[in-house]
Amino acid sequence: MIYNHKVVVVLPAYNAAATLTQTVQEIDRSIVDEIILVDDASRDETVAIARQLGLSHIIVHPKNRGYGANQKTCYRAALDMNADIIIMLHPDYQYTPKLLPVMAHMIASGLYDVVLGSRILGGTALKGGMPLYKYIANRALTFFQNLLLGAKLSEYHTGYRAYHKRVLLAIPWQYNSDDFIFDNEFLSQVIYAGFRIGEVSCPTRYFPEASSINFPRSVRYGLGVLRVSIQHLLNKAKLLNSPAYKIGPIT
C-alpha cells in the first residue's frame, strides 16, 4: 500500500511466455498488493509460467476476445478486489515495471487521477526501436487529438497507465471497443470527464518478443483515433449523446 491505497497491477496477457518472468520479477512487491493476470487465450505457455511464478489471481479467456476485452476483465477483477490504484502493465516487457512506484505515488499523493507512461517524453522513442512510421503516426495523431480534445499530452497511444478507482467507477468503459482502440477511447473519456492527467517519461523498448500491431492494423487504429476524436468533439458540443460519454458520479 501507499498512503493506505491498495495498489493492484493488472497484466493483460497474450502470448507473453517469453517475457512474463522478467516482467513479474521486476514488479516492486513492497508497494504492489496484488497482481492480476488475464490471459486472452494465448497459444503459448503464458498461463503455465504465470502459475510457476506463483501468481494467485489468473483469469483465462476460453477464446481470444481482444485487447480491449482483456482490459475490461482486468478492471472488473481489480475493482472486485477493492483496489484503490490500478496500474496496467503489459507483460511483454515493452514498458519497464520499475516505473510502477513512481506512477502509484503520483496518484496516491492526490495530485493526479490518471498517470501515463509516455514513450515520447525524453526524446528516446526512435533510439529505443520505435519504427519511424509509428513515430510519425504517433506524433501526427497526438497533435490532432490535442487540437480536438483540448489537451496537451505528449502521446495518447501508450499502453502503460495508472488509474485511481474513481476513474474506473465514473467512466462507462464497458461501451468501449474490444480491440486496440479501447485505450484511445478510454483516454478520450478521461479528458471529457475532466480528470487530472500526469505523465512520466518511459523508455521505449521494441524487440521481437514485444507485442506490436502490424501495419494494416496500425492503419485501422489510426482511423479509429480520428473517429474517437470527432465523436468526443460532437459529444462535447452536445450534438451527440453517446452512452460512452455519460460520466457517472465522481467521488
Is residue 251, in this structure, part of any structural domain at all? no
* pLDDT of res. 218: 84
Q: In this structure, what C-alpha cell is assigned to residue 191?
A: 479528458
* pLDDT of res. 211: 59
Strand partners, 198: 115
pLDDT at 206 > cutoff 80: no
Listed in sequence order, the residues at least 6 apart from 6 whose beta carbon sits closer than 8 Å to its beta carbon are 33, 34, 81, 82, 83, 84, 85
Convert the pLDDT of each residue in 24-77 to its tens digit. Answer: 999 999 999 999 999 999 999 999 999 999 999 999 999 999 999 999 999 999
pLDDT at 207 > cutoff 70: no
Is residue 228, in this structure, part of any structural domain at all? yes
The CATH number of residue 109's host domain is 3.90.550.10
- Of the chain, the end-to-end C-alpha distance in Å amounts to 20
The domain total for the chain is 1
* pLDDT of res. 123: 85
The per-residue pLDDT of the chain, averaged, comes to 94
pLDDT at 212 > cutoff 80: no
Q: In this structure, what C-alpha cell is assigned to residue 132?
A: 519511424
The dihedral formed by the CA atoms of 120, 36, 211 and 52, expressed in degrees to the nearest 10: 130
Is residue 163, in this structure, part of any structural domain at all? yes
Most confident of 17-31, 122-136, 206-220: 17-31
Average pLDDT over residues 226-249: 96
Angle CA 202–23–102, to nearest 5: 40
Q: What is the Cα 56 distance to its own chain's centre?
A: 22
Distance CA 141, CA 181 (A): 13
Is residue 249, in this structure, part of any structural domain at all? no
What is the residue range of 185's domain?
7-244
Is residue 232, in this structure, part of any structural domain at all? yes
Is residue 170, in this structure, part of any structural domain at all? yes
The dihedral formed by the CA atoms of 174, 227, 40 and 218, expressed in degrees to the nearest 10: -170
Is residue 1, in this structure, part of any structural domain at all? no
Is residue 2, in this structure, part of any structural domain at all? no
